[in-house]
Chain A
Amino acid sequence: MLRAIRPALVLLALLTALTGAVYPLLVTGIANLLFHDKAHGSLVVASAGPLGSELVGQNFTRPGDFWSRPSAVQYDAKSSGASNMGPLHEGLHEAVAARIAMLQSADPEAKLPVPADLVLASGSGLDPHISPEAARYQARRVAQARGVPTAEVLALIEVHTEGRTLGILGEPRVNVLRLNRALEGLRPSR
Chain B
Amino acid sequence: MTAHALLLCGTYVAVLVALAIPLGGYCARVLGGEATLLQRPLGPLERGFYRIAGVRPDDEMHWRDYTAAVLWFNLFGLLVVYGLQRVQHLLPLNPQELGPVAPDLAFNTAVSFASNTNWQAYGGETTLSYLTQMVGLTTQNFVSAATGIAVLAALARAFSRRRSETIGNFWADLVRSTLYILLPLSLILAVALAADGVVQTFAPAAEVELMRAATGPEGQVITQQTIPLGPGASQIAIKQLGTNGGGFYNVNSAHPLENPTPLTNFLECLAILLIPAALCLSFGKIVADRRQGWAVLGAMFAIFLPLLGLCVWSEGQLAPQLVELGVDPSAGNLEGKEVRFGPAASALWATATTAASNGSVNSMHDSFNPLGGLVPMWLMQVGEVVFGGVGSGLYGMLVFAILAVFLAGLMVGRTPEYLGKKIEAFEVKMAALVVLLPSAGVLVGTAIAVASAAGRAGISNPGIHGFSEVLYGFSSASNNNGSAFAGLGANSFFYNLALGLCMLIGRYGIIVPVLALAGALARKQTVPPGPGTMPTHTPLFVFLLAAIVVLVGALTFVPALALGPIVEHLQMTGTHP
Contact = CB atoms under 8 A, between A and B. Distances in A.
Nearest to B225: A77
Nearest to B61: A4
Contacts of B187: 23, 26-27
Interface stretch (B260-268, B273-281, B516-524): B260-268
Interface in A15-59: 15-16, 18-21, 23-24, 26-28, 30-32, 34-35, 38-44, 48-59
A116 B332 contact: yes
Interface residues of B, number: 135
Contacts of B212: 58-62, 65
Interface string A107-144: 00000111111011111111111110100000000000
B362 A12 contact: no
B211 A52 contact: yes
B194 A11 contact: no
A170 B68 contact: no
Say which size band chain A's interface belongs to. 35 or more
Interface string B523-539: 00000000000000000
Contact of A170 (B55, B265, B370, B460): B265
B322 interface: yes
A57 B212 CA distance: 12
B178 interface: yes
Contacts of B235: 24
A115 B238 CA distance: 36
B139 A19 contact: yes
Contacts of A31: 190-191, 194-195, 200-201, 233
Contacts, number: 388
A86 B367 contact: yes
Interface string B33-48: 0000000000001000
A133 B328 CA distance: 10
Interface stretch (B335-343, B418-426, B450-458, B549-557): B335-343
A121 to B, nearest CB: 6
Question: Lowest 9 CB-CB distances: which A-B pairs, in order?
Answer: A170-B262, A84-B487, A123-B254, A171-B342, A31-B194, A87-B319, A169-B262, A113-B328, A112-B326
Interface of B: 4, 7-8, 11, 45, 49, 52-55, 64-65, 68-69, 72-73, 75-77, 80, 123, 125-126, 134-136, 138-139, 141-143, 171, 174-175, 178-179, 182-183, 186-187, 190-191, 194-203, 205-212, 214, 216-217, 225-229, 231, 233-235, 237-238, 249-251, 254-257, 260-263, 265-266, 318-319, 321-323, 325-342, 345-346, 361-364, 366-370, 373, 460-465, 468, 485-487, 568, 571-572
Interface of A: 1, 3-12, 14-16, 18-21, 23-24, 26-28, 30-32, 34-35, 38-44, 48-62, 65, 69, 74-90, 92-93, 96-97, 100, 112-117, 119-131, 133, 164-165, 168-171, 173, 177, 180-181
